[in-house]
C-alpha cells in the first residue's frame, strides 16, 4: 500500500470521526431534557446553538492558522479540542458542562473541516478531487447512519434496568466510568477513545504541505466589502443558512416530536429513525449526482423543495406510521440542497470565489439559529408549531431556485447519452 493510499484512508477516517460525533445530538435531546430537568425546550436548543456558533466563529481563523503553522498542528488541535470537550462532559455531568463541551467540540470540528478539504485535494491530486470529495461525503453519511445505532446499542446494554455485569468487557468498562442513571454519557467516552486514535494517527503521519489554490484563498477587506454590497451574495448566504436550519432543525427535534406526539421510544425506534434520516440523505446524494447529469440544478432544487414541504407536512400532521416514514424521507429530499445552493452561488459571481465561499461557510451558523428559533417558538406554543418554522426555511430555498441567475449552468446530457445508447 503506497503512502498516498494510506493518507486517503486516514482522511476518510477523519471524516467518519467528524460525522460520528457531530450528528448524534437528535437522539440525545429527550435524555438531556429528562436527566437535567430542563424547564423548556429552548434550553435543549442551546446545545446545538453552542456547537454551531463555535463552528461559525472558528472557520475563518482556522484558515489563517493553516497559512501560518501548516496543516499538521491544525489537524492535531482540531482533534485535541473535541477530545477535551468530550472528556469534560464525560467527567462533569452537568448542563453547563454539556454546553461548554458542545462549544469546545464545535471549535475543533471547524478547524478540522477547514484543513481536511484542501488536504484531500493535495493528497489525491486535482484530477481525482471530485471523486474523493464524493467518497468523503459518502463516508460522512455512513458515520451519521452508524452513530445513532451505536447510541441505541449502548442504551440497550447500560440502562439500569438491563445492565448485567460480566456479559461484555466493553460494557463493563463503560459502566465503571459512567453514572448508572446517565448511561448515554458513555457515548462521550466512545468519542474520546476515537479521538485519541485520530491524534495518534496525526502524530505518526507526514502529510504533504497544503498549497491553497485561488478558490481556497480569502481576499482582502475591500473584496469582502464589495461582496457584502451584492444582493445575490446575501440571497445565497440566507439560502445556506436556511438549509442548515432545515437539516439540523429536523434531525435534532424529530425524536422529541415522535416521543411527544406518538409515544415513540427515543432510545430505540427514535434512534433508528434518525439513523434512517442520515442514511437516506447519503442515498439521496448518490441519486442527486445522477439527476444533475440529466436536469438543470435549479429545476432539481425546486423539485427537492416542494417534495420536502410535502414530506414535512406528513411528518408534522400525520399519524404515527406516516410521521415515522416521512421524517427520515426528508433526509432524502433535502440531500441535494446544500451542494446545489453552494454551486449556484459560486457560479453567480465572476471572481472572488474563495472569499465568497468563506462567506457561505459562515452561514452554517444556521445550525445554531434554526434549532434555537424552533425550540423558542415551541416553548411559547407547541413543538408542532415550532417545527412549522421549517416550512419557511424550505420556502426560501425554493425562492432561491427561482431567483438564481448563474453565469454558468450545470452541464446536462440526455438519458440515452448517459446510458451510452445510440450515437
pLDDT tens-digit series, residues 305-340? 999 999 999 999 999 999 999 999 999 999 989 888
Q: Which three cell numbers stand for residue 387?
A: 417545527
Q: Domain of 204: which CATH number?
A: 1.20.1250.20
In a domain, 343, yes or no: yes
Do 234 and 182 share a domain, yes or no? no
The residue count of the chain comes to 423
Do 172 and 239 share a domain, yes or no? no
Do 289 and 303 share a domain, yes or no? yes
Of 206, 422, 417, nearest in space to 293 by CA: 417
Q: State how far the Cα of 140 lies from the Cα of 247, in Å rounded to an integer.
A: 15
Q: Say what the pTM is.
A: 0.85
Of 114, 118, 120, 141, nearest in space to 7 by CA: 120
pLDDT at site 69: 83
Q: Which three cell numbers stand for residue 227?
A: 461582496
In a domain, 145, yes or no: no
| Tally of domains within the chain | 2
In a domain, 417, yes or no: no
Do 307 and 377 share a domain, yes or no? yes
In a domain, 119, yes or no: yes
Do 232 and 171 share a domain, yes or no? no
Do 320 and 242 share a domain, yes or no? yes
Q: Is the CB of residue 157 less than 8 Å from the CB of residue 163?
A: yes
Q: Is the CB of residue 286 less than 8 Å from the CB of residue 322?
A: no
Of 189, 174, 198, nearest in space to 85 by CA: 189
Q: State how far the Cα of 368 lies from the Cα of 420, in Å rounded to an integer.
A: 45
The 3-class secondary structure across 33-92, one letter per residue, is: HHHCCCCCHHHHHHHHHHHHHHHHHHHHHHHHHHHHHCHHHHHHHHHHHHHHHHHHHHHC
Assign residue 121 a region (left: φ > 0; alpha: ψ between -120 and 50; beta: otherwise): alpha
Whether pLDDT at 423 is above 70: no
Do 119 and 171 share a domain, yes or no? yes
Do 75 and 127 share a domain, yes or no? yes
Of 330, 302, 313, 297, nearest in space to 388 by CA: 313
In a domain, 244, yes or no: yes
pLDDT band, residue 128 (cuts 50/70/90): low
Maximum mean pLDDT: which of 44-48, 105-109, 231-235, 343-347:
105-109
Q: Is the CB of residue 354 less than 8 Å from the CB of residue 414?
A: no
Maximum mean pLDDT: which of 6-10, 84-88, 224-228, 351-355:
84-88
> What value does the mean pLDDT take over residues 136-158?
89
Do 233 and 264 share a domain, yes or no? yes
Q: State how far the Cα of 402 lies from the Cα of 131, in Å rounded to an integer.
A: 29
In a domain, 29, yes or no: yes
Q: Which residues contact 42 (CB under 8 A, 6 or more apart)?
A: 372, 375, 376, 378, 379
pLDDT at site 419: 67
> What value does the mean pLDDT take over residues 211-225?
63
Q: Work out the burial of residue 294: count CB atoms within 10 Å of its CB; fewer than 13 is exposed, 13-18 middle, 19 or more buried.
A: middle
Of 394, 390, 405, nearest in space to 337 by CA: 394
Do 200 and 262 share a domain, yes or no? no
Do 217 and 184 share a domain, yes or no? no
Of 145, 177, 211, which residue constitutes the final position of a domain? 211
In a domain, 288, yes or no: yes
Q: Which three cell numbers stand for residue 79?
A: 482533534
In a domain, 142, yes or no: no
pLDDT digits (tens, 9 = 90+) for 21-54: 988 888 889 899 999 998 888 898 889 889 988 8
> What value does the mean pLDDT take over residues 354-374?
83
Taking every pair of C-alpha atoms in the chain, what is the biggest distance, in angstroms? 68
Mean pLDDT of the chain: 87
207-211, 273-277, 330-334, 395-399 — which is least confidently predicted? Answer: 207-211
Q: State how far the Cα of 57 lies from the Cα of 362, in Å rounded to an integer.
A: 8
Do 199 and 65 share a domain, yes or no? yes
pLDDT at site 131: 66
User: Structural domain of residue 165, as residue ranges?
Assistant: 1-132+161-211
Amino acid at each position: 500500500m503506497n503512502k498516498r493510499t494510506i493518507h486517503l484512508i486516514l482522511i476518510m477516517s477523519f471524516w467518519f470521526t467528524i460525522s460520528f460525533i457531530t450528528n448524534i445530538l437528535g437522539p440525545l435531546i429527550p435524555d438531556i431534557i429528562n436527566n437535567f430537568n430542563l424547564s423548556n425546550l429552548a434550553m435543549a436548543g442551546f446545545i446545538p446553538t453552542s456547537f454551531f456558533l463555535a463552528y461559525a466563529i472558528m472557520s475563518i481563523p482556522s484558515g489563517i492558522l493553516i497559512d501560518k503553522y501548516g496543516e499538521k498542528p491544525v489537524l492535531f488541535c482540531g482533534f485535541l479540542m473535541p477530545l477535551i470537550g468530550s472528556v469534560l462532559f464525560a467527567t462533569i455531568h452537568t448542563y453547563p458542562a454539556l454546553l461548554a463541551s458542545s462549544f469546545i467540540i464545535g471549535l475543533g470540528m471547524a478547524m478540522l473541516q477547514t484543513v481536511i478539504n484542501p488536504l484531500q485535494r493535495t493528497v489525491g491530486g486535482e484530477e481525482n478531487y471530485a471523486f474523493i470529495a464524493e467518497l468523503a461525503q459518502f463516508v460522512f453519511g455512513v458515520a451519521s447512519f452508524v452513530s445513532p445505532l451505536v447510541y441505541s446499542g449502548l442504551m440497550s446494554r447500560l440502562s439500569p434496568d438491563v445492565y448485567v455485569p460480566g456479559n461484555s468487557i466493553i460494557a463493563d468498562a463503560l459502566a465503571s466510568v459512567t453514572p448508572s442513571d446517565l448511561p448515554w454519557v458513555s457515548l462521550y467516552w466512545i468519542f474520546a477513545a476515537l479521538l485519541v486514535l485520530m491524534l495518534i494517527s496525526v502524530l505518526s503521519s507526514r502529510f504533504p504541505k497544503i498549497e491553497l489554490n485561488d478558490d481556497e484563498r480569502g481576499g482582502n477587506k475591500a473584496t469582502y466589502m464589495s461582496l457584502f454590497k451584492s444582493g445575490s451574495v446575501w440571497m445565497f448566504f440566507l439560502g445556506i443558512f436556511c438549509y442548515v436550519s432545515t437539516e439540523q432543525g429536523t434531525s435534532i427535534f424529530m425524536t422529541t416530536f415522535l416521543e411527544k406526539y406518538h409515544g415513540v421510544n427515543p432510545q430505540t425506534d427514535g434512534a433508528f429513525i434518525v439513523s434512517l434520516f442520515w442514511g437516506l440523505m447519503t442515498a439521496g446524494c448518490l441519486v442527486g449526482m445522477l439527476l444533475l447529469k440529466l436536469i438543470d440544478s435549479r429545476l432539481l432544487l425546486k423539485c427537492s423543495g416542494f417534495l420536502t414541504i410535502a414530506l414535512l407536512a406528513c411528518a408534522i400532521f400525520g399519524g404515527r406510521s406516516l410521521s415515522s416514514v416521512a421524517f427520515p424521507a426528508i433526509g432524502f429530499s433535502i440531500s441535494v440542497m446544500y451542494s446545489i445552493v453552494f454551486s449556484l452561488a459560486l457560479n453567480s459571481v465572476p471572481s472572488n470565489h474563495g472569499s465568497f465561499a468563506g462567506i457561505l461557510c459562515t452561514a452554517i451558523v444556521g445550525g445554531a439559529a434554526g434549532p434555537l428559533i424552533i425550540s423558542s417558538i415551541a416553548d411559547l406554543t407547541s413543538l408542532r408549531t415550532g417545527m412549522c418554522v421549517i416550512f419557511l426555511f424550505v420556502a426560501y430555498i425554493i425562492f432561491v431556485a427561482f431567483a438564481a441567475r448563474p453565469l454558468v449552468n450545470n452541464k446536462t446530457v440526455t438519458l440515452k447519452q448517459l446510458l451510452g445508447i445510440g450515437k
